[in-house]
Chains A and B, each alone.
Chain A
Amino acid sequence: MEKNQIVRRFVKPTLFVLALMPLAFLVYRALNNGLGANPIETINRYTGDWVLRFLLVTLAVTPLRRLFGWNALLRYRRMLGLFAFFYACLHFLSYAWLDQYFVLADIIKDVAKRPYITVGFACLLMLIPLAATSTNAMIRRLGARRWQALHRLVYFVGVGGVVHYLWLVKSDLREPLIYGAILVALLGFRLWHRVRRDPGTAAAGSAQHALL
């Protein structure tokens, strides 16, 4: 069998099923009375954790390719990114439905008034155009350059996601800081790589410019 076929028939479906395992485990816990004393909080935290994990895994693809030449990973980046979006939708749904009971006025007030929710909601909004332009047809329509520029929004989603978590905790910053450290490493790699490849840009431009 040809390599492409192996990827399409076996590797991708396996990855797809694996990426659904966190959800399957959550459903299993829900059906077996295993969500603890505050199930809504459990569901909300759990889905949020998986958004961050999928975001970081997606953002790890480029550094891994550059560092180890694992270019094959590129085939799976879209699926990983879409799963980050999928869990972000579940995360928001658990908030809007289970926590806020779909009371729109309360949700709007929360989003406007609570900085950590504002940031989280902004991240969800930023993920929508990325998911919507994830098809091959959309890449062709936008053109590679514009598509790539748009998809750099994911850096802001990553930063926003970590900030969202940091602003939520009461005093124990350890977990959000672990996510933050991994994110800094992944984004820092891009910056470093850019500087090394093209020293002129870095000298002339700001850090943000270099990132782009």
Chain B
Amino acid sequence: MLIKKIVTISSSEITPREVYQQRRRFLREAGALAVAGVGATLLPAAGVAGQKFPNLRKSPYSLDEKTTTYKDVTSYNNFYEFGSGKSDPSERAGNFRTFPWSVAIEGEVKKPAVYQMEDLLKHHPLEERVYRLRCVEAWSMVVPWVGFPLRDLIRRVEPTSRAKYVEFTTLLDPAQMPGQRPGLLGAGLDWPYVEGLRLDEAMHPLTLLAVGLYGEVLPNQNGAPIRLVVPWKYGFKSIKSIVKIRFVEKQPLTTWVRANSREYGFYSNVNPAVDHPRWSQASERRIGEDSLFSPKRKTLPFNGYADQVASLYAGMDLKKYF
């Protein structure tokens, strides 16, 4: 006769799922670190949010403006992969795995490669750059980014003469990114998120690949572990959590253009003279600074970077190529 004995385990003895997952993740990452033989100086490569970057260079491209508080920069985010609410990314991206992470360089380049994050960090000295960030929704921030110029990476991979544009792609992982779930369960965009720049825009010294802010490893909600920052364009051009950089001949079809080409253009340069069809772009609200009862501030052409970048668009009709 088979006698079954029911073993009772009190719920207090069961390790919560999150705890053991965290533990496994820690073991996996610690193991990977040991294998990689990464020294203590490169620890930020492991994607430990909050970890400080040592010896950051100051950049002459930095603004001398009051920065938006760390709290606002890290809690008021548009990162639709985690939901369309401003607090969704900071609330839902906590367990997002940013290690190990690699970025594939593909297309019209002489040296296609898949770079591990550690490799990118080792190769490119990091600097701090304080930039204005102007969202297409008419608000703005001033963010002290940590990163390196995209042009340094581009030079390293040697684009061919056929490379005219650069296409960037965000990670596609609906299991980790609830906003990417299909149809009405998600945030309503086609995934993965794709952005693009003309090669000369990508080569501009202001164009940054950011891996941190406020001297620390990029928090997940801000696009960890590596994101683009193009300060003279609306924020959605600055694609987050990049896994692929592809050099192409034709202008890429970017996510927001695909979603609504009447409202969002490929260039999307900050331009107070060209309104979004549904709201004015003439002025903006600076997050955390203006009081409830102060008027908005005027938006500047190219977000105040006209001296550096206007020449890229000489002779172009900016109303047509918005």
Residue from the list B72, B83, B187, B279 in contact with A114, Cβ < 8 A? B279
Which residues on B sit within 8 Å (CB–CB) of A101? 294-296
A37 to B74, CA, bound (A): 10
| Nearest CB in chain B to that of A168: its residue | B278
Residue from the list B71, B84, B278 in contact with A115, Cβ < 8 A? B278
Which residues on B sit within 8 Å (CB–CB) of A169? 84
Q: A98 an interface residue at 8 Å Cβ cutoff?
A: yes
Grouping DSSP codes into helix (H, G, I), strand (E, B) and loop, the B interface class, with mixed when no group exceeds half, is loop
CB under 8 Å from chain B, chain A span 159-191: 167-174, 177
Verify A173–B184 contact, CB threshold 8 A. Answer: yes
Q: B115 an interface residue at 8 Å Cβ cutoff?
A: no
Q: A39 an interface residue at 8 Å Cβ cutoff?
A: yes
Q: How many residues of A contact B (CB 8 A)?
A: 27
Verify B278–A114 contact, CB threshold 8 A. Answer: yes
Q: A96 an interface residue at 8 Å Cβ cutoff?
A: no
Q: B265 an interface residue at 8 Å Cβ cutoff?
A: no
If A101-B295, A171-B188, A171-B189 touch, whether A38 touches B139 (CB-CB below 8 Å) is yes
Q: B233 an interface residue at 8 Å Cβ cutoff?
A: no
A190 CB, min distance to chain B CBs, angstroms: 26
CB under 8 Å from chain A, chain B span 229-258: none
Verify B285–A38 contact, CB threshold 8 A. Answer: yes
Verify B80–A98 contact, CB threshold 8 A. Answer: no
Which residues on B sit within 8 Å (CB–CB) of A114? 278-279
Which residues on A sit within 8 Å (CB–CB) of B76? 36-38
A21 CB, min distance to chain B CBs, angstroms: 21
Chain A residues near B (Cβ < 8 Å) = 30, 36-41, 43, 97-99, 101, 103, 106, 110, 114-116, 167-174, 177
Q: A37-B72, A172-B188 are in contact. List 7 more A-B contacts (CB 8 A).
A: A37-B86, A38-B76, A169-B84, A171-B84, A171-B189, A171-B259, A173-B184
